[in-house]
Amino acid sequence: MEPNPSLTQGSISRRLLQFALPILMGNVLQSLNGSVNAIWVGRYLGEAALTATSNANTVMFLLIAAMSGIAIAATILVGQCVGASNLQEAKRIVGTGASFFAVVSVLMAIAGLVMCEPLLRAMGTPPESLDLAVAYMRVIFLALPCLSMFTFAMSVLRGAGDPRTPVKFMLLSVGLDIALNPLFIFGLGPVPRMGIAGSALATLAAQIVGLTALTWHLYRRQNPLCIRKSELGLLRVDWNIARTLIKKGLPMGAQLLVFSVSGLLMISLVDRFGVNTTAAFGATLQLWNYLQMPAVALGMAVSAMAARNVGANKWDRVESVARVGVLYCLLLTTCGVILLEVLNTRLFTLFLPSGGEALRIASHVNRVATGSWVFFGITLVLFGVVRATGAVVVPLFISAVSLLGVRFPIANALLGQYHADAIWWSFPVSSALSALLAVLYYRYGGWRLMNVLGQLEVPQRRVNDIPPILTVTIRK
């Protein structure tokens, strides 16, 4: 497999857009899936059920944050290997990563099943939603291993320069999930009515089919990164690679964990104001998922492109990728904020009953807090560039300061005086701080000097097989 020259040569603005669009489409599909599920649950099972799924999904994200960070690390490692034209090292990373993900995701699914009810109680989930949330989570966590492996496979393909294949099979999975939701929720013929648990079961079935179809397709097309029968030894965990993935992945996973913990803390504050406020916040989160998608896609795209150019030692292009990425993000996210303000209640009625108190609250939250995603987008793009070099600790610190050191404390401290408004205003304040710190680190930080993802410790006989960009020292 030769490096895709479109990522290391030619127009950066055009290449970045071509790479980001499939990722954006995949994010749209994921959010569309969640939104359609929320429509079925919120409009036909009630506000308590929608509150249950919102809280349950937040807990699930908490448990998979670390795995997501390791997937990002694998993406960057594979991207650098392919950029340095070292396919064998890329396959070693894929083999170790696949085995690692399979084992850990099963353990995390078990942990989720055990911890779901205590966590939901600790979050202050409203009593009328608790049983529904537990029923939903007991099924959704069964899907965690398939979801994790699906995510890992898509991350590896993107790191190798193929963002299109993941979208095709995500479309299959999402389409199946959407089709099965009403069938399992309401029942039909021999299929029993399962209520909120049916929504989770639809996700489980869709993930199994999607992962199976993607794996079959990759082997049928003889993708160069597939592990063949003669290479099954690559599935044995190489702890040198695993240490590198963990060393760089855990800080990135911890950054996602910071987002998740912040979400849990904010929901715990929102829950104090009752089901209407929580349902309004859940509906707002559904729309925010769409709003942040361009920034998320661009963050993933600039990270993959930057890693490829770091591997090819083209630092001028790394700088250009950052500039173009920020400009695209500002344009797309600002347009999204304006669109949400114009449509406002017309969109929220997709999730909430017309004329209700929850609808009024959601409209107010939108006007106060939605603009914060412009700042958040700038942060995501700049973090995507710097982490392609292995700089992962400072972005984690910035996220922790802005979300845990500013957002939650401000909201909590002012809750008695400003009530729920203290929560909503804490979003733009903390997001603006995060963007400012990200810009300062990108401009003045030492991330450029880290021109390595990390240290791969390998036997001396394999020194010549490793791209220089991945090697610091070799321990004898």
| pLDDT bucket at 138, cuts 50 / 70 / 90 | confident
| Phi and psi, residue 8, nearest 5° | -115, 0
Domain boundaries, the chain: 10-470
Higher per-residue pLDDT: 69 or 429: 429
Reading the block at residue 13, the tokens are 């603005």
| pLDDT bucket at 62, cuts 50 / 70 / 90 | low
Only one residue has tokens 């603009």, namely 371
Question: What's the pLDDT score for residue 66?
Answer: 66
Q: Encode pLDDT of 227-255 as tens digits.
A: 888 888 888 877 878 777 787 777 877 88
Question: What's the pLDDT score for residue 63?
Answer: 66
Mean pLDDT of 22-36: 78
pLDDT higher than threshold 90 for residue 60: no
Is residue 71 within 8 A of residue 304, CB to CB? The reply is: no
Percent of the chain with pLDDT over 70: 89
| pLDDT bucket at 450, cuts 50 / 70 / 90 | low
Is residue 83 within 8 A of residue 3, CB to CB? The reply is: yes
- The pTM (predicted TM-score) of the whole model is 0.70
Highest mean pLDDT among 188-192, 436-440, 450-454: 436-440
| pLDDT bucket at 147, cuts 50 / 70 / 90 | confident
* Four-CA torsion 52, 53, 57, 59, nearest 10 degrees: 10
Mean pLDDT of 128-140: 80
Measure the CA–CA gap between 56 and 240, rounded to whole angstroms: 36
Reading the block at residue 28, the tokens are 């749209």
3-state secondary structure of 344: coil
pLDDT higher than threshold 80 for residue 448: no
| Phi and psi, residue 112, nearest 5° | -65, -40
Q: Encode pLDDT of 295-354 as tens digits.
A: 888 888 888 888 777 777 777 788 888 899 999 999 999 998 898 888 877 778 777 777
Highest mean pLDDT among 37-46, 194-203, 436-445: 436-445
Measure the CA–CA gap between 444 and 446, rounded to whole angstroms: 7
Measure the CA–CA gap between 329 and 295, rounded to whole angstroms: 6
The Cα diameter of the chain in Å comes to 71
Question: What's the pLDDT score for residue 461?
Answer: 33
Measure the CA–CA gap between 139 and 433, rounded to whole angstroms: 38
